């Protein structure tokens, strides 16, 4: 059911659905002559549509569709999903409908309807980071478990739980030895329950057949499916994720002081990946491009900066695109990046990193202390010097997280990011299913029917193991989107 508001003879008339927008992170302000919807924090999606002196809003996107036909999605938007780029923060595939994004206010009054962006206010500085996370955990009650990957964020979450006097069980999704490059670090005083999980099963496109309003994106669907699997194995005890904690407590290399003479800048490891640079001027050019390298860590584990997610990487990585497909992707990508830049420029940097991160990786459907306003405020109060520095020629980020873990004696944490696990799982799944996928693409390819891709290069990649690994993630996204298109013709 949609809420509908209109201005009639200068007065507000409205019908309101039976829902609380406050629970979605949206404030509603009404007077006799105006209505205002403002989103200050991340929450469940709220959509709106503007008309002449009229505003409609709701949490169910399907409520905006008349008839039974699904709306046609722009080809460029489909290819953004395949490429792995986030759509614009307010983008919705229904003409005239938009999503209410963080920092956006929609106002209806006698002058008409206006949409403005303004900085979303953060709470006043409260406790330190560990205490703020502990306070967010206390809101869950005495019984909860932590989704534990063995990485920095989940280990820090466990440390905060211990600091708060809790003893939650750590639930670990064991994908097998192929995914375990390091032994799982133990947290003294907490028990680890390992749940054997087949990641390839979660990546199966047939899981999403049948009516679905929007095409599924594996980058956001798989974390949700995995959280459901862990919660089910844990008898549905409340599960908590440390996701985005590294994003919240991070800084970029350009933000770190390099010293009065810049000697630390020249000594810093990022500038020696391809050999020693000739001088400080060359180093500063590279610094301006945002190049950051963390020794002994996966490049996938880099923090999300307050820039449009994810950062452009140059040419298209989608295999088999036609010229028409390349043009559609480039146009959609440029438009989305422009909206993202404007959107994030209006947000506090910490909140911007959280917003960008949730768009990239989705919400797993379980509690995430990184989204708690108190945690965001505590992270925002940290000076850059406390978050990151350059030491012994290396850029060291997320220092408050590592500091809390060092106090517990926790070392040798896993560095693999969710993107690494997804890529490895995509390789494994496509190798297992490639003959079936080849037969399907040989018979029918909906993206090819739209003139966006050529099936034969995709088939060649699937048959050639040497190129499959480099293209696995965009190729599997393409298979998912193509399956959705065939189901909804």
Q: Tens digit of pLDDT for each residue in 362-378?
A: 888 889 999 998 999 99
**End-to-end CA, the chain:** 26
Q: pLDDT by residue (tens digit) across 59-70?
A: 888 888 876 666
**C-alpha distances out from residue 296 to 186, 293, 312, 395, 403, Å:** 20, 9, 24, 12, 18
State what percent of residues in the chain have pLDDT above 70: 83
Query: What tokens appear for 101 in the block?
Result: 């994004």
164 has a pLDDT exceeding 60: yes
CB-neighbour burial class of residue 261 (10 A; exposed 0-12, middle 13-18, buried 19+): exposed
Better-scored residue on pLDDT, 227 or 235: 227
Of 329, 293, 376, nearest to 120 by C-alpha is 376
pLDDT band for 277, please (50, 70, 90 cuts). Answer: low
Query: Average of pLDDT values for 453-464?
Result: 93
pLDDT at 360: 82
Q: Which range (140-144, 265-269, 299-303, 430-434) has the least confidence?
A: 299-303
d(CA 319, CA 315): 11
Q: What is the pLDDT of residues 334-355, one digit of tens each?
A: 898 889 988 888 888 899 899 9
Mean pLDDT value across residues 269-287: 61
DSSP string, 267-334: HSGGGGTTS--SSHHHHHHHHHTT----TTS-GGGPPPPSSSSSPP-SS--STTB-HHHHHHHHHHHH
Whole-angstrom distance, CA of residue 62 vs CA of residue 456? 36
Q: Is the pLDDT of residue 290 over 70?
A: no
C-alpha–C-alpha distance, residues 475 and 8, integer Å: 52
**pLDDT of 292:** 44
pLDDT at 257: 75
Burial class (CB in 10 A: 0-12, 13-18, 19+), 487: middle
Q: Is the pLDDT of residue 85 over 90?
A: no
Average pLDDT, the chain: 83
- What is the Cα–Cα distance from 20 to 12, expressed in whole angstroms? 20
- The angle, 0 to 180 degrees and rounded to 10, between the axes of the packed helices 465-487 and 455-463 is 130
Model-level pTM? 0.84
- For residues 241 and 363, the answer to whether their CB atoms sit within 8 Å is no
Cα separations in angstroms, 230 against 58, 174, 177: 31, 10, 19
Higher local confidence (pLDDT), 383 or 316: 383
Instruction: Answer whether 361's CB lies under 8 Å from 223's CB.
Output: yes
- Neighbouring residues of 26: CB distance < 8 A, sequence distance ≥ 6: 37, 38, 39, 43, 46, 100
Query: What is the structure's pLDDT at 297?
Result: 39
β 169-174/145-147 pair status: parallel
Half-sphere exposure of 158 (CA within 13 A, CB side): 31
Print burial letters for 128-160: b (CB count within 10 Å at least 16), e (below 16): ebbbbbbbbbeeeeeebbbbbbbbbbbbbbbbb
8 A C-beta contact, residue 70 and residue 40: no
For position 288, what pLDDT does the model report? Answer: 66
Structure tokens of 284? 């500063």
Determine the average pLDDT of the residues in 288-311.
Answer: 44
Q: Which residue has the tokens 């404030």?
A: 27
Domains of the chain, residue spans = 3-117
397: left (phi over 0), alpha (psi -120 to 50) or beta: beta
Contact 172, 411 (CB under 8 A): no
CA separation for the pair 201, 196 (Å, rounded): 12
């Amino acid at each position: 059911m949609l809420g509908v508001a209109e201005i009639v003879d200068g007065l507000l008339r409205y019908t309101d659905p039976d829902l609380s927008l406050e629970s979605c992170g949206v404030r509603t302000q009404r007077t006799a002559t105006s209505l205002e919807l403002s989103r200050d924090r991340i929450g469940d999606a709220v959509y709106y549509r503007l008309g002449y002196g009229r505003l409609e809003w709701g949490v169910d996107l399907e409520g905006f569709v008349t008839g039974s036909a699904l709306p046609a999605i722009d080809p460029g938007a489909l290819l953004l999903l395949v490429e792995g780029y986030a759509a614009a923060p307010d983008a919705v595939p229904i003409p005239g409908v938009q999503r209410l994004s963080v920092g956006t206010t929609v106002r209806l009054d006698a002058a008409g309807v206006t949409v403005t962006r303004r900085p979303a206010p953060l709470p006043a500085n409260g406790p330190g980071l560990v205490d703020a996370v502990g306070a967010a955990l206390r809101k869950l009650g005495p019984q909860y478990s932590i989704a534990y990957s063995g990485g920095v964020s989940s280990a820090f979450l466990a440390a905060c739980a211990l600091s708060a006097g809790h003893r939650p069980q750590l639930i670990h999704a064991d994908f097998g030895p192929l995914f375990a490059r390091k032994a799982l670090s133990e947290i003294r005083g907490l028990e680890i329950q390992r749940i054997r999980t087949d990641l390839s099963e979660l990546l199966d496109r047939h899981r999403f057949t049948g009516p679905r309003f929007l095409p599924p994106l594996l980058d956001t669907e798989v974390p949700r499916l995995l959280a459901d699997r862990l919660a089910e194995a844990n008898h549905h005890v409340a599960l908590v994720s440390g996701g985005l904690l590294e994003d919240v407590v991070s800084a970029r290399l350009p933000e770190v002081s390099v010293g009065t003479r810049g000697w630390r800048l020249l000594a810093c490891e990022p500038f020696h990946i391809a050999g020693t640079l000739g001088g400080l001027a060359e180093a500063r050019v590279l610094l301006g491009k945002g190049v950051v390298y963390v020794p002994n860590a996966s490049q996938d584990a880099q923090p999300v900066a307050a820039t449009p997610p994810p950062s452009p990487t140059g040419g298209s990585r989608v295999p088999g695109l036609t010229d028409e497909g390349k043009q559609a992707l480039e146009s959609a990508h440029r438009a989305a990046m422009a909206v993202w830049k404007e959107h994030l420029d209006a947000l506090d940097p910490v909140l911007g990193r959280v917003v960008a991160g949730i768009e990239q990786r989705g919400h797993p459907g379980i509690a995430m202390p990184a989204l708690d306003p108190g945690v965001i405020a505590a992270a925002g109060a940290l000076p850059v010097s406390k978050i990151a520095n350059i030491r012994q020629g290396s850029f060291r980020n997320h220092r408050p997280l590592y500091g809390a873990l060092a106090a517990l004696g926790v070392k040798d944490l896993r560095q693999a990011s969710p993107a690494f696990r997804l890529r490895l799982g995509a390789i494994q799944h496509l190798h297992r299913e490639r003959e079936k996928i080849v037969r399907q693409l040989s018979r029918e390819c909906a993206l090819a029917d739209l003139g966006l891709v050529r099936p034969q290069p995709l088939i060649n990649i699937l048959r050639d193991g040497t190129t499959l690994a480099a293209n696995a993630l965009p190729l599997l996204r393409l298979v998912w989107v193509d399956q959705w298109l065939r189901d909804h013709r």
